[in-house]
Amino acid sequence: MKSDSLHIDGLDMTALPLHIAVIMDGNGRWAQKKFLNRVKGHEKGSDTVRMVVRSCREIGISYLTLYAFSTENWQRPKAEVAALMILLKKFLVSERQEMVVNNIRFNVIGEQERLPEDVQKEIQRTKDATKSNNGMHLNLALSYGSRSEIVLATKQIAKEVQAGRLLPDAITEEIITAHLYTSDIPDPELLIRTSGEMRISNFLLWQIAYSEIAVTDTLWPDFTRNELIQILKEYQGRDRRFGRV
Ligand code: FPP
């Protein structure tokens, strides 16, 4: 649990990122390397999700956004999609009470309506059960794609203009931000990607404009709390200039 006296050698607890976003990649390769079915990789990956949520809460991170299922992931084999949905449901059911106790507020970003009904139901239950929590905000990106999020925001803004409630010249960055799924979440200061790929994969394109990016070769199922702490230390050593000198 978050403890005000938590001390981690070499980590400045007063200079932590407020928001960490994670592209959890490499479950399939982890399984392949062990001659296992890809689903085994996702199962082990779910354990890493639990560990990372717990660790971020303990360390005192305020917002954690995990890319759990992209809009492109719907094109994976049916059996793999079904297995991911089952894991997701299991995660929601098994972690709900812990989220309640640990003051974690749960939310989802993405096209929730495309998810199976039973998963949607568990999402709603988890959101309801954690709605008055404020210790850490856990956001799962599910059926999420950043470009489609921006398209959706653009349509909403266009409708406001059409209805005469907004002048085109009054459209600002703040107005676009306010129409994204993440409207009430600060932009991530740190984006972590596992498994070594140097890509953004349609994740939070608008929101990561000034994020620090940390890519590790570690496959998601092998990612550890120690590595998370190492990345945080490395982040604290960076010089964030936001385009200034
Ligand atoms: C990438 O591995 C990971 C995903 C497609 C989704 C992440 C899912 C989990 C961590 C498990 C379930 C999630 C929760 C929240 C319980 P990949 O299959 O793309 O790996 P590869 O690139 O090596 O094939």
CATH code of 104's domain? 3.40.1180.10
Catalytic residue among 37, 73, 103, 202: 73
Query: How many angstroms separate the CA atoms of 165 and 213, rounded?
Result: 38
Q: Is 19 in the pocket of ligand 1 (CB under 6 A)?
A: no
97 within domain boundaries: yes
Which are the contacts of 212, defined by CB distance < 8 A and separation ≥ 6? 17, 189, 190, 191, 235, 238, 240
In a domain, 226, yes or no: yes
Q: Classify residue 98: in a domain, yes or no.
A: yes
Whether pLDDT at 1 is above 60: no
Exactly one of 25, 27, 102, 139 is catalytic; name it.
25
Compute, in angstroms, the gap from residue 51 CA to the centroid of ligand 1.
15
The verdict on the CB of residue 87 being under 6 Å from ligand 1 is yes
What pLDDT is stored for residue 242 in this prediction? 81
- Is the confidence at residue 8, as pLDDT, over 90? yes
Residue 244 belongs to a domain: no
CA atoms within 13 A on the CB side of 2: 17
**pLDDT for residue 92:** 98
Percentage of the residues of the chain whose pLDDT score is greater than 70: 98
For a substitution probing ligand 1, which of 30, 42, 192 has the most ligand atoms within 8 Å of its CB? 42
Residue at token pair 């409708």: 159
4: left (phi over 0), alpha (psi -120 to 50) or beta: alpha
Cα(215) to centroid(ligand 1), Å = 16
Cβ of 221 less than 6 Å from ligand 1? no
Q: Listing from the earlier edge strand, what are the strands of the sheet with 190-193?
A: 104-109, 136-144, 63-70, 19-23, 190-193, 212-215
Ligand 1: distance of its center to the CA of 39 in Å? Answer: 9
Q: Exposed (0-12), middle (13-18) or buried (19+): which is 228, by Cβ within 10 Å?
A: buried
pLDDT of residue 4: 58
Please state the atom number of ligand 1 nearest to the C-alpha of residue 91.
Answer: 16
239 is catalytic: no
pLDDT on residue 10: 95
Confidence band of 28 (pLDDT split at 50, 70, 90): very high
pLDDT at 244: 83
Number of domains in the chain: 1
Cβ of 61 less than 6 Å from ligand 1 = no
CB 92 near ligand 1, within 6 Å: no
- Provide the angle, in degrees to the nearest 10, between the axes of the packed helices 78-101 and 38-59: 20
Answer whether residue 82 is part of any domain. Answer: yes
- Residue bearing tokens 């604290």: 236
Is residue 242, in this structure, part of any structural domain at all? no
Condensed to tens digits (0 to 9), the pLDDT of residues 45-76 reads 999 999 999 999 999 999 999 999 999 999 99
pLDDT of 167 above 80: yes
Is 42 close to ligand 1, i.e. is its CB under 6 Å away?
Answer: yes
Structural domain boundaries, residue 84: 19-236
Respond yes or no: is residue 25 known to be catalytic. Answer: yes
88, exposed or middle or buried, with CB in 10 Å at 0-12, 13-18, 19+? buried
Residues 26/32, Cβ–Cβ less than 8 Å: no
Looking at residue 73, what is its pLDDT? 97
Q: Does the residue 3 lie in any domain?
A: no
**214 inside domain:** yes
